[in-house]
């Protein structure tokens, strides 16, 4: 099982690299970092100079708050891109190979079908993780260079963002067992969209003490935990910022608990297990 899993993971990695899928994602990511870096560079230079007229200098606390907000904003976009990568990389991996007949060649080898599913999942998770490290690392470095600001904690938030992306990866892999590529894409982005809206609904209505909305948000988070992982990551990034940003677009009013983190991990594994179970039963 392990040998087969690693071989499939290697093949998947090789294919993604050769088909220039990873390169395209990398170029788009670097484009974002370039635009983000340019904006940060000129923005903070202007702030230090006291604005366009030089008469409104920003104090150290203001600079730190601005840097915190903009770091979280940058990572918010990174989180979206990482989730998009986790969905788009495997979108036609299984369904495409089933449709083209490639899977018959693989499945007729002495390899458990679970190895095919898990091998692909593993390869895509590693790629997503590499992409996350590059992009989030880019945001952190840009803020260090432009605003002299270092986020106090990045490893745990990045782990949470990766866990959120892993849930989307599992959903997309599982969808690919039975659904066509397009249908799978619609379903996967549907899961992401629902989590996104539910997260905002939970955030906004929690401020007004609406417990029903909060419960609905929690239930949706159970079905699609990716957004709750982002909110927990944002909280971990800078708990102080969450107080400052509470009413802003990146604030965290309702902080997902440690149980939700555990649930997200279980969710990823359970959906992956479901994909394996379905794939073993599926006629090829």
Partner 1 sequence: MPEYAIETAALRREFGRNVAVAGLSLAVPRGEVFGFLGPNGAGKTTSLKLLLGLVAPTSGGGTVLGAPLGNTAVRARIGFLPEHFRFHDCLNARELLHFHGRLLGLPARGLRTRIEALLLRVGLDDAAHRPLRTYSKGMTQRAGLAAALLGAPELVFLDEPTSGLDPLGRLLVRDVIKELRDGGATVFLNSHLLGEVEATCDRVAFVKNGLVVHELELANATGTLDVEMRVGHVDDALLEGLAAFGTGVQRDETFVRMHANSESVLPELARWLVGRNVALYELRCGRKTLEEWFVEVMGEDQRPG
The closest alpha carbon to 87, from 13, 189, 1, belongs to 189
What's 111's DSSP letter? S
Q: Residue 219: how many CB atoms within 10 A of its CB?
A: 11
The closest alpha carbon to 235, from 148, 161, 144, belongs to 161
> Is residue 254 a contact partner of residue 214, using CB atoms and an 8 Å limit?
yes
Between 14 and 27, name the residue whose CB sits nearer to partner 1: 14
The closest alpha carbon to 217, from 234, 229, 205, 233, belongs to 205
Residues 111-140 that bind partner 1 (CB under 8 A): 111-112
Between 19 and 45, name the residue whose CB sits nearer to partner 1: 19
> In angstroms, what is the minimal distance from the CB of 12 to partner 1?
9
Contact string 177-216 vs partner 1 (x = CB under 8 A): ----------------------------------------
Counting Cα atoms < 13 Å in the Cβ hemisphere of 261 gives: 16
> In angstroms, what is the minimal distance from the CB of 127 to partner 1?
16
Between 102 and 222, name the residue whose CB sits nearer to partner 1: 102
The closest alpha carbon to 145, from 74, 76, 78, belongs to 74
Distance CA 127, CA 19 (A): 14
Q: Residue 276: how many CB atoms within 10 A of its CB?
A: 21
> In angstroms, what is the minimal distance from the CB of 10 to partner 1?
8
Between 107 and 133, name the residue whose CB sits nearer to partner 1: 107
Between 111 and 194, name the residue whose CB sits nearer to partner 1: 111
Distance CA 200, CA 194 (A): 10
The verdict on 45 binding partner 1 (CB under 8 A) reads no
Between 4 and 251, name the residue whose CB sits nearer to partner 1: 4
> Is residue 276 a contact partner of residue 114, using CB atoms and an 8 Å limit?
yes
Applying CB under 8 A, which of residues 52, 54, 209, 283 lies at the interface with partner 1? Answer: 283
- The angle formed by the CA atoms of residues 196, 240 and 257, to the nearest 5 degrees, is 50
68: which 2 tokens?
Answer: 């915190």
Residues 72-111 that bind partner 1 (CB under 8 A): 100-102, 104-111
> Is residue 144 a contact partner of residue 150, using CB atoms and an 8 Å limit?
yes
The verdict on 23 binding partner 1 (CB under 8 A) reads no
The verdict on 4 binding partner 1 (CB under 8 A) reads yes
> In angstroms, what is the minimal distance from the CB of 88 to partner 1?
18
> In angstroms, what is the minimal distance from the CB of 81 to partner 1?
24
> In angstroms, what is the minimal distance from the CB of 113 to partner 1?
9
Between 111 and 204, name the residue whose CB sits nearer to partner 1: 111
Give the binding-site size for partner 1 (rule: CB under 8 A).
Answer: 23
Binding site for partner 1 (CB under 8 A): 3-4, 7, 11, 14-15, 18-19, 100-102, 104-112, 281, 283-284
């Amino acid at each position: 099982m392990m040998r087969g899993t690693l071989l499939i993971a290697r093949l998947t990695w090789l294919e993604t690299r050769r088909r220039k899928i990873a390169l395209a994602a990398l170029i788009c990511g670097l484009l974002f970092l370039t635009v983000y870096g340019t904006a940060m560079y000129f923005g903070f230079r202007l702030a230090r100079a006291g604005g366009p007229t030089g008469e409104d200098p920003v104090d150290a606390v203001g600079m730190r708050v601005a840097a915190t907000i903009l770091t979280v904003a940058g990572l918010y976009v990174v989180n979206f891109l990482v989730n998009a990568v986790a969905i788009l990389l495997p979108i036609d991996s299984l369904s495409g190979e089933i449709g083209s007949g490639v899977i018959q060649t693989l499945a007729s080898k002495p390899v458990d079908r679970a190895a095919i599913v898990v091998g692909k999942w593993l390869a895509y998770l590693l790629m997503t993780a590499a992409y996350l490290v590059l992009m989030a690392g880019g945001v952190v470095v840009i803020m260090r260079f432009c605003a002299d600001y270092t986020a106090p904690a990045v490893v745990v938030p990045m782990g949470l963002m990766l866990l959120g992306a892993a849930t989307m990866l599992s959903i997309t892999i599982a969808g690919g067992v039975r659904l066509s590529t397009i249908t799978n894409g619609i379903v996967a982005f549907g899961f992401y969209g629902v989590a996104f809206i539910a997260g905002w609904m939970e955030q906004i209505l929690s401020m007004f003490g609406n417990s029903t909305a909060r419960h609905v948000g929690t239930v949706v988070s159970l079905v699609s935990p990716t957004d709750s992982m982002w909110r927990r990551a944002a909280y971990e990034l800078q708990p102080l910022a969450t107080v400052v940003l509470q009413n802003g677009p990146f604030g965290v009013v309702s902080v997902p608990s440690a149980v939700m983190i555990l649930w997200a991990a279980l969710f990823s594994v359970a959906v992956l297990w479901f994909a394996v179970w379905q794939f073993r039963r599926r006629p090829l």
